[in-house]
Copies of this chain bind each other. A is one copy, B any other.
Amino acid sequence: MGSSKNDLFTSEQNRIAELAKALGHPARIAILEYVIRKNACVCGDIVDELPLSQSTISQHLKALKMAGILQGNVEGAKICYCINPKVWTELNTLMSHFFKTYTNCC
């Protein structure tokens, strides 16, 4: 027990949940906002921007990369993070479709 039973749900349900989960921490929202605000690939100065340790931020970056939302491109010793446009579109599409399925009833 303790782990979620992903095999019981559709792949779309699992994918929405996976992407939402990746957004489910304020530090990861802050990271994405920062990467977007810089409007370019941003290297490890995220660490200077957020009040969290380097290892913690690296973990959050990993979570965002695992979901596919962020890309990391190696640039010498530094690594350049940016939004993965395809996954961003996927996220937008899945969410807005999900939102549209509801129209007031109560």
Instruction: Enumerate chain A interface residues (CB-CB to B < 8 A).
Output: 4-6, 8-10, 13-14, 16-18, 20-30, 32-33, 36-37, 39-41, 50-52, 71, 82-83, 85, 88, 91-92, 95-96, 98-99, 101-102, 104-106
Given known contacts A36-B102, A99-B92, A27 and B41 CB-to-CB distance under 8 angstroms: no
The reply to whether B99 and A85 contact each other, CB–CB distance below 8 Å, is no
| A82 contacts across to B, CB distance below 8 A | 105-106
Closest to A1 in B: B56
The secondary-structure label for the interface of chain A is: helix
Given known contacts A5-B52, A96-B96, A24 and B21 CB-to-CB distance under 8 angstroms: yes
